Amino acid sequence: MKTTLFTPYNMNGISLKNRFLMAPMTRSRAAQPGDIPNKLMATYYGQRTSAGIIITEATQISLQAKGYAKTPGIYTPEQIKGWKLITEEVHKKGSKIFLQLWHVGRVSSSRVNGLQPIGPSSKIAKETNVYIFDGAPNGDATFIPVEEPKEMNPNDIKQVIEEFKIAAKNAIDAGFDGVEIHGANGYLIDQFLRSNSNIRKDKYGGSKENRIRILSEITHAVVNEIGTDKTGVRLSPFISFKDMNDPEILETIMLAVKKLEEIGITYIHLCEADWDDAPLIPINFRKELRNTFSKTIIATGNKTPEEADELLQENLVDLVGFGRSFLTNPDYPKRVEMNLKMNEIIDNHTLFGGGDTRGYTDYPFIKK
């Protein structure tokens, strides 16, 4: 199967060998203590350089930003050094890599990082869990409920903006081609965007214009530090889990897109739901996004290569992200091209956590 997916692409000066993007996937393999990226992670990412570009797993910009156990950070010298192992391996094997910058906001627990969560408001995310590893005999993650967050004061907001800026600089120092600001999936920036999680009365709450303010200020700070060509933003207008159902979100997202277009970032990454009965993104929304945003548009969310190619040929997106397809098939593009059978997940227990290669770096390549 030879499709548009296999054509090269110039992403605002960054040359990509194809339109396949390896989507960000939390795997919880960072070395402890210190949430430090390691050689095993370098092997994992290096195996998957058949993608034109890789977006890393979500990476916390501070200890406060952490919501799940064993996720990597980008705020200490040791973490920067660890990420260099990964960027060097990916570049050596001919791909590009962006680091996804993450602050979970209210989606956390003091049992994860020793700190009370923070968020736009003190509203808890109902029916939302995070995980720790507390010595279960099979090594599984243990899911625990999130705790009530502290409403962020102006100093907290200022600090978070500064942490995003520093994290972006650290990412470039670690050798990344750029960063992706995580504004999706019910985490901190998304919490500010939505009227049900953000009930503030100051300039960061209330109107749609106020609710996009923190995204705008974070993006400005990152762009001023590393440049528009190295900055992307991820959004999830149609995903409402983690108690994030907001009837105003589509209008708010489009207002945010106009602001991001004005700032001049390199891409917008649409995170689309990837479960079987997930809502489909209306074609009208895709067209409006294309008409509003002039740079690269990425779509990720359980797409077949055929569905991806259709979106590319209709010029509704420029790159398509694949998650579990790359998790289980490090040579996924080649398997698509040759119409070969795909590897399946070895064991769901290996998706999050684990200290060895099983279910992480042992998925087989095509036999030559």
Q: At residue 277, does pLDDT exceed 60?
A: no
Q: Please choose, from the candidates 96, 55, 54, 1, the residue with its C-alpha nearest in 3D space to the C-alpha of residue 340.
A: 1
Average pLDDT over residues 303-312: 95
Instruction: Band the pLDDT of 66: cuts 50, 70, 90.
Output: very high
The pLDDT assigned to 206 comes to 97
Q: At residue 340, does pLDDT exceed 90?
A: yes
Active-site entry in 75, 187, 267, 360: 187
Instruction: Band the pLDDT of 52: cuts 50, 70, 90.
Output: very high
Q: At residue 35, does pLDDT exceed 90?
A: yes
The pLDDT assigned to 272 comes to 87
Residue 102 CB partners (closer than 8 Å, separation 6+) = 58, 59, 60, 61, 65, 71, 182, 187
CA distances 16 to 20, 223, 274, 302, Å, are 9, 21, 25, 22
CA gap 251, 272 in Å, rounded: 17
Sign of CA dihedral 35, 39, 42, 44: negative
Mean pLDDT of the chain: 95
CA distances 264 to 160, 171, 231, 296, Å, are 22, 20, 9, 11
Q: At residue 168, does pLDDT exceed 80?
A: yes
Average pLDDT over residues 277-285: 78
- The residue with greater pLDDT, 367 or 214, is 214
| 187 classed as catalytic | yes
Angle at the Cα of 305 (from 303 to 307), degrees rounded to 5?
Answer: 60
Backbone angles phi, psi at 122, to 5 degrees: -90, 15
Return the CATH fold of 4-350. Answer: TIM Barrel (3.20.20)
Tell me the domain boundaries of the chain: 4-350
| CB count in 10 Å sphere of residue 208 | 17
The pLDDT assigned to 285 comes to 94
The pLDDT assigned to 241 comes to 87
- Residue 12 tokens read as 């605002």
Tell me the pLDDT tens digit for each residue of 142-163.
999 999 999 999 999 999 999 9
Q: At residue 140, does pLDDT exceed 80?
A: yes
Q: At residue 368, does pLDDT exceed 90?
A: no
Instruction: Band the pLDDT of 220: cuts 50, 70, 90.
Output: very high
The pLDDT assigned to 282 comes to 86
Helical packing angle, 39-47 and 77-92, nearest 10°: 30
- Residue 101 tokens read as 């910058």
Q: Name the maximum alpha-carbon separation found in the chain.
A: 62
Instruction: Band the pLDDT of 124: cuts 50, 70, 90.
Output: very high
CA gap 325, 23 in Å, rounded: 10
